[in-house]
Amino acid sequence: MTSQNPVFIPGPTNIPEVLRKAVDMPTIDHRSPVFGRILHPALEGVKKVLKTTQGQVFVFPSTGTGGWETAITNTLSPGDKVLATRNGMFSHRWIDMCQRHGLDVQVVTQEWGEGVPADRFEEILTADKAHEIKVVLATHNETATGVRSDIAAVRRALDNARHPALLFVDGVSSIACYDFRMDEWGVDIAVTGSQKGFMLPPGLAIVGFSPKAMAAVETAKLPRTFFDIRDMAKGYAANGYPYTPPVGLLNGLNMACDMLLDEGLENVFARHHRIAEGVRKAVAAWGMQLCAKRPELYSDSVSAIRTPEGFDANKIVSHALNAYGVAFGTGLGDVAGKVFRIGHLGSLTDVMALSGIATAEMVMADLGLPVTLGSGVAAAQDHYRQSATAMRAAA
């Protein structure tokens, strides 16, 4: 694969040149004040991206999966009850992690392509008079199916049920891509990683804890060492880590937050929406359907596209790589072989998106699918031209 081509996998995402340079640092003494001048601005930047003033941010050398583990091991005890939905591979894996930690997970199974069922959650929470459910888990953007769930609606479900459970949100593929409001939505723990909306290499788990989640840490009995946020908080107070920090990645995180905030979060979200709409116009022009069932579920960071019955969707991904050196995402779990995914998150422009759409057309034509070359590209071009004009008019 030529490294000149953008990738269209839903993470890791394309890394802007300035961030590659920011990550590439000579060794510094991580116990010197220099490190504090990288660490603290990075933590403050993440808080702004999460839209929290009340929360505390912790960054571990890990990935999003380590962020899940940070959330549950710091706040829960063996046997605690957790409410969650399984609607794709990532929500499935978070549930699996909870079960392996000896938690009692009440799973609401949804068809893949559906979102988190806030109304069903409200019924379950209302019926839980003894408040046995300690945490509600929600995957904001199910990356396997390209489904975005309504986190504000999950918060309303908790509030309507007058239920005190904590709300944990996996925002690994939504945060810094589309709107996320930690304080306003009453999110108690927000989880993400460095390699998606933050446009960095993999290697950081990024988690935000609300004051209520911080309070739960004091009574939680699950074992934790590496991910203990109390050790991490002590480290931060002394400008350090409880172990060796990944200084280059943190320097990159600081720079990534600056980039996002300089562009303006609302502009970052508008860009993701605009690019995603172009991809969706192309999919419609191809006569194909998304895995996500309804427009309000469409993700602005990834599209999972259903291929015709009997066709192995993985062939699209392997042929794109072999013939054109372009990476798309495969289908995972229940939708393996049935969908391929176009990731459109992170550092991306409409011009880059057009190259991905054009490549997908070449690949599908090569494989004998009934796609007219240029049809999706033209539909996306129309959208990008119109929306560019509208943006200029608004500016």
Residues that bind ligand PLP (CB under 6 A): 11, 63-65, 90, 139, 141, 143, 170, 172-173, 193, 202
Give the CA dihedral 180, 181, 186, 188, nearest 10 degrees: 60
Residues 142-161, buried b or exposed e (16+ Cβ, 10 A)?
A: bbbbbbbbbbebbbbbbeeb
Residue 47 CB, nearest distance to ligand PLP (Å)?
20
Nearer to ligand PLP, 161 or 176 (CB): 176
Helices (H) and strands (E) counted in the chain, each on its own, are 13, 13
Please name the residue ranges forming H helices in 166-208: none
How far is the C-alpha of 198 from the C-alpha of 183, rounded, in Å? 20
Residue 299 CB, nearest distance to ligand PLP (Å)?
10
Maximum CA extent, the chain: 62
Nearer to ligand PLP, 161 or 187 (CB): 187
Nearer to ligand PLP, 47 or 341 (CB): 341
H-helix or E-strand containing 58?
Answer: strand 56-61
Nearer to ligand PLP, 64 or 376 (CB): 64
User: Which residue's beta carbon is nearest to the bound ligand PLP?
Assistant: 64
Residue 372 CB, nearest distance to ligand PLP (Å)?
32
Q: Which two tokens stand for residue 372?
A: 């007219």
How far is the C-alpha of 259 from the C-alpha of 182, rounded, in Å? 20
Nearer to ligand PLP, 345 or 364 (CB): 345
Nearer to ligand PLP, 75 or 139 (CB): 139
Residue 91 CB, nearest distance to ligand PLP (Å)?
8
Query: Considering only CA atoms, which of 261, 303, 312 is closest in space to residue 282?
Result: 303
How far is the C-alpha of 372 from the C-alpha of 93, rounded, in Å? 38
Residue 68 CB, nearest distance to ligand PLP (Å)?
7
Residue 248 CB, nearest distance to ligand PLP (Å)?
18
